[in-house]
Structure 1
Amino acid sequence: MYFFNLDSGAALNVGGDDVFPAASTIKIPILVAFFKAVDENRISLSERLTMRPDLIAPEAGTLQYQKPNSQYPALEVADLMITISDNTATNMLIDRLGGAAVLNQQFQEWGLKNTVINNLLPDMEGTNTTSPRDLATLMLKIGQGELVSPRSRDRLLDIMRRTVTNTLLPAGIGPGATIAHKTGDIGTVVGDAGMVDMPNGQRYVAAMMVKRPYNDPKVVS
């Protein structure tokens, strides 16, 4: 786990540099890369992305059930990638943003030492990697106004606040707190990372990843 208080600078690092299969937490840096591309006029929010057959993915999401070669606005694709963890939407954005190698180079430039895309989603084998510290560092940069414009930051956090799965970090933040986050789960690994706003005005970034026996419910109860 890795926690950081944006107001006090206090940090908690318990194995936060350990490398884990990223599962769907890899969608956080992809989302940041998307909005950075928007800010740099390399992609527009309204641009229509084509759901090519080679990008259609099983497991999470609803786009997989739609007609191949359908088109969707880029912002809608980014929204689906996070809110319902749509794997097809993720693959569409990886493709549009230049592919894994281009994105991995960006992640390195942002200081994310352990965050790598090796395969398209769903990546049930866990070849895509990250670490709690990488994910928290990324959210910290967003919270400090780095990487993307204020307008894109607001859109990014709004999408992450509408993440449907709320059984991990949201279950422990207490009444009155809000969280912008993204979960990940490939059975043997679960993770969650995001930004927490407390009722007292304090803001934290938090990231946790856990290895477990396949689908063991005790880990996320």
Structure 2
Amino acid sequence: MNTSGPSRPAAKSLTARAKLLLVWAATALLLVGMVTLGAVRTGPVPGTDFVAGPEDLWQEQWEEQPAAAAPPAEAPQAAVDLDALDAEVRRVLAENPGYRIGVVLADTHGGEPRGYGDGTEFVAASTAKIITAAAYYHLVETGEKSLDVPLGSYDAAFQIQAMVNASSNDAWLLLMQDIGYPRLIEYAASIGISYDPEQNLLTPAEMADLLKQLSTGKLINAEHTQELLGYMQKTNNERLIPAAVGPGITVQHKYGALGGYLHDAAILSSGDRSYALTIYSWGEDGGSEKRLAMIHDLTGVVTKALLE
């Protein structure tokens, strides 16, 4: 009788069964894993982003974004009927025979200006203050003047703003005296304008050309140009050209009133279109409602034809 345990063949058979059990166990685990993976891959979308990777998040955001609407096609700009514009301006002039009126319209992008009515010199009144402002800025840029220099009770920068935005005559006189009349005449001539500050005469065409040069940066540097144009907006008198323009049109202007003279000179802009418009007028009624209505009519004709 053998009491030492099972024989070697018996032990070998037991080992084979153990190996078979291990194979079955591994196979079962593999099947469970596959079922679990399939459940995860086909299960509901997680309620949070915690298990989502960066690419999944980007894809979800991309899918959630609504398709961008195509920008509406801009209607082609209708060709301007210049003959009709001319006829309308002349109609307004004919309806106001009691006034001496000079009108000039200039496209700031180029081309010949269009003039109507009286093209001779008018007393420019305060519209000429733009010449003084441009001359002073020019001298600042050449190093001959400074905006920080005391001038009267304030500095030169303040006086330019007061002269243009509030049409201060005291500021105008201080600036002209600081420049000197001969230098002011010389500067005006350098930009193609015949101007004597003691007489203060300009033609409507000269004033329109001055605004055209200013708006296109030909007079002074970009910083000073923007500053001066800023002073020409929301001035202390918006009853002339600004009162007659529609929404979406920017107005930068300088009015003038002296005795029977009532003027306004403006840069009118909308989108990429820009025009200099000068309306000079003289009559015995000064700034009457009838005179204002005439300026409004002319402004409306121009803006309707060119900017609206």
Q: TM-score range by the shorter chain?
A: 0.7 to 0.9
Equivalent residue, structure 2, for 1:36: 138
Equivalent residue, structure 1, for 2:305: none
CA RMSD of aligned residues (A): 1.6
3-state DSSP of counterpart to 2:106? strand
Which structure is higher in RCO with an 8 Å CA cutoff and minimum separation 6?
A: 1
Equivalent residue, structure 2, for 1:95: 177
Residue type matched to 2:189 in 1?
A: Q
Equivalent residue, structure 2, for 1:123: none
Residue type matched to 1:93 in 2?
A: L
Distance in 1 of aligned mates of 2:208 and 2:187: 16
Aligned residues: 190
Equivalent residue, structure 2, for 1:175: 247
Of 129, 141, 148, 2:201 maps to: 129
Q: Larger C-alpha radius of gyration, 1 or 2?
A: 2
Could you list the runs of 5+ residues in structure 1 that have no partner in the other structure? 51-70, 119-126
Matched, 1:13 2:118: no
Residue type matched to 1:205 in 2?
A: A
Of 105, 108, 111, 2:189 maps to: 108
Superimposed CA distance per residue, residues 106-154 of structure 1 (whole angstroms, 9 cap, x where no aligned partner): 11221113x3211xxxxxxxx4211111111111111222121111111
- Within 5 Å, give how 1:20-59 maps onto structure 2: 20-50=122-152
C-alpha deviation, 1:162, in angstroms: 3.4
3-state DSSP of counterpart to 2:146? coil
Task: Name the % identity.
Answer: 26
Distance in 1 of aligned mates of 2:287 and 2:176: 31
Distance in 2 of aligned mates of 1:216 and 1:8: 33
Could you list the runs of 5+ residues in structure 2 that have no partner in the other structure? 1-102, 294-308
User: What TM-score, normalized to structure 2?
Assistant: 0.58
Distance 1:102 1:8, change over 3 A: closer
Distance in 2 of aligned mates of 1:184 and 1:177: 21
Equivalent residue, structure 2, for 1:61: none
Residue type matched to 2:278 in 1?
A: A
Equivalent residue, structure 2, for 1:155: 227
Of 104, 127, 132, 1:2 maps to: 104
Distance in 2 of aligned mates of 1:16 and 1:48: 41
- Preserved CA contact (<8 Å) 2:262 2:287: no
